[in-house]
Amino acid sequence: MALLLTRDHGRHAGLLHGGQSARYRALLEPGNLLTAGWRARVADQLGSWSLEVERAYAAPFLDDPQRLACLASVCALLDGLLADREPHPGLFGATIALFEALSTDVWAEVYVRWEIGLLEEVGFGLDLSRCAASGQAASDLFTGNDRLSHVSPRTGRAVSASAAEPYKSKLLPLPPFLLGLSEGGPEEVQQGLALTGHFLEHRAFAQRHVEVPSARVRFVERYARIHRP
Amino acid sequence: MIGPEIDRLIQLLAKLPGLGPRSARRVALHLIKRREGLMGPLAEALAAAASSIRTCSVCGNLDSHDPCFICTGAGRDPSLLCVVEDVGDLWALERTGAFRGRYHVLGGTLSALDGVGPDDLSIPGLLERASQPQVGEVILALNATVGGQTTAHYLSDRLAPCGVRISRLAHGVPVGGELDYLDDGTLTAALRSRRTL
């Protein structure tokens, strides 16, 4: 059985005849972009796939442990969080964009943005548009020499630096690159991963009573180890 | 129409890799027609293999002795340790005759989608063997797949404190391969791993 993320039908399973054979092994690598045809007598059936590789996104990164771990994390998160046959065309497009970005220097920043998009798709979106305490929009704060600097771990809403000051230890830091205020960098990426990691663990996966996939845990650990200050 | 013994034989044969119910029937008929010359010896060989073959407690290979003939072989270089995913990979490398070191069978690779984590693989045994003073190099002979290479990177991190040289198999153009027929990933890997002539 092969499980694919499809553009119009979401996470979709189907039988692939001879799927265990060497012929299909390279085709069914995580991260491959495929042209897929699904056929069944009635829509409720498992059905069967006819597949053809369009692009093997993982192949150039087999020697790059960080990017490979990132790709494995993406596949594990999608597999763990999406419901069967629930369309997520935006998430599909964002995933392709992330895989394209893996060959650039800003791949880690794109990954954090992708996780924020994933959280939104599964119903745990962060509100980074205005300060939860004062109600001021992010753009208004910026002109007034303030900025959104933290996120409430309870509500997922952003808080301005001035409003966050007394509760800093209880809030999650919001990396400036997510507001378009900086270009990012390893330190901000790690802040972003901690931010999304909190909501993945305590909201998205907690609701399903499962732990965050080990592939994501390994990716975050590896990234932190390599970019240790 | 078919007796229960034959039916059971067909059912069991159909469970073998590469055989479906139709081909299992053909194999069963072939065996039944050659009861004396083939079926009897095959049954004896299967029974003998089932009772004597065990997993090597050192490397994870399958053999009639524990430790296996590779782990105890005098002509083997103890400084080289080759890590493979499965016994089938060990047999493939042995067929080449190009490697005279010892092996370690992991029993799988890390797979986020299949839920295979480090605890499911024989990694503690590998770390213990790699820490032995006679081991100088660990070769990670894992598949050029996402799972295989993710495992290789993970093992490389875990093996780093052992102080051994860590290498992996090359990725690139296969012998007899034509560039025009290779996929982009293989060609990219081949270009990156080019050698000076």
pLDDT in tens, A119-165: 999 999 999 998 998 888 877 776 667 889 999 999 999 999 988 88
Better-scored residue on pLDDT, B81 or A163? B81
* pLDDT for the residue numbered A103: 92
Mean pLDDT to the nearest integer, A41-67: 89
Partners of A31 on chain B (C-beta within 8 Å) are 146
Partners of A70 on chain B (C-beta within 8 Å) are none
The CATH fold of domain B4-52: Helicase, Ruva Protein; domain 3 (1.10.8)
Mean pLDDT to the nearest integer, A167-191: 94
* pLDDT for the residue numbered A4: 93
Mean pLDDT to the nearest integer, B182-192: 84
pLDDT digits (tens, 9 = 90+) for B56-79: 999 999 999 999 999 999 999 999
* pLDDT for the residue numbered B98: 94
* pLDDT for the residue numbered A59: 86
What are the structural domain ranges in chain B?
4-52, 62-168
Q: Which residues of B touch A (CB under 8 A)?
A: 110, 112-113, 117-118, 144-147, 149-150, 153-154, 156-157, 171, 183-186, 188-189, 192
Mean pLDDT to the nearest integer, A187-210: 96
Confidence of residue B192 (pLDDT cuts 50, 70, 90): confident
**Mean pLDDT over all residues of chain A?**
91
| DSSP string computed for B27-66 | HHHHHHHTIIIIIHHHHHHHHHHHHH-EE-TTT--EESSS
The CATH fold of domain B62-168: Dna Topoisomerase Vi A Subunit; Chain: A, domain 2 (3.40.1360)
* pLDDT for the residue numbered B17: 87
Residues 6+ apart with CB under 8 A from B197: none
- Integer Cα distance of B173 and A54 in angstroms: 21
* pLDDT for the residue numbered A229: 72
The 3-state secondary structure of chain A, one letter per residue: CEEEEECCCEEEEEECCCCCCHHHHCCCCCCEEEEEEEECCCCCCCCEEEEEEEEECCHHHCCCHHHHHHHHHHHHHHHHHCCECCCCHHHHHHHHHHHHHCCCCCHHHHHHHHHHHHHHHCCCCCECCECCCCCCEHHHHHHCCCCEEEECCCCCEEEEHHHHHHHHHHCEECCHHHHCCCCCCHHHHHHHHHHHHHHHHHHHHHHCCCCCCHHHHHHHHHHHHHCCC
Better-scored residue on pLDDT, B193 or B83? B83
A19 — contact with chain B (CB < 8 Å)?
Answer: no
Better-scored residue on pLDDT, B40 or A27? B40
Distance from CA of A214 to the nearest CA of B (A): 7
Closest CA to A35 of A70, A7, A68, A64: A7
Neighbours of A103 (CB within 10 A): 12
CB contact under 8 A, A73 and B112: yes
Distance from CA of B193 to the nearest CA of A (A): 10
Mean pLDDT to the nearest integer, A63-76: 94
Distance from CA of A59 to the nearest CA of B (A): 5
Instruction: Calculate what percentage of chain A has a pLDDT beyond 70.
Output: 98
CB contact under 8 A, B185 and A62: yes
Q: Omega before A153 cis (within 30°)?
A: no
CB contact under 8 A, A62 and B144: yes
A74 — contact with chain B (CB < 8 Å)?
Answer: no
* pLDDT for the residue numbered B112: 79
Partners of B154 on chain A (C-beta within 8 Å) are 218
Partners of B153 on chain A (C-beta within 8 Å) are 65, 68-69, 222
CB contact under 8 A, B113 and A30: yes
- Which residues partner with A12 through β-bridges? A4
pLDDT digits (tens, 9 = 90+) for B11-69: 999 999 888 899 999 999 999 999 999 999 999 999 999 999 999 999 999 999 999 99
Mean pLDDT to the nearest integer, A50-71: 90
* pLDDT for the residue numbered B188: 84
Mean pLDDT to the nearest integer, B142-168: 94
Closest CA to A159 of A192, A191, A190, A134: A134
Mean pLDDT to the nearest integer, A169-183: 93
| Range scoring the smallest mean pLDDT among A47-56, A90-99, A103-112 | A47-56
A215 — contact with chain B (CB < 8 Å)?
Answer: yes
- Integer Cα distance of A158 and A130 in angstroms: 7
Which residue of chain A comes nearest to B187, CA vs CA?
A60
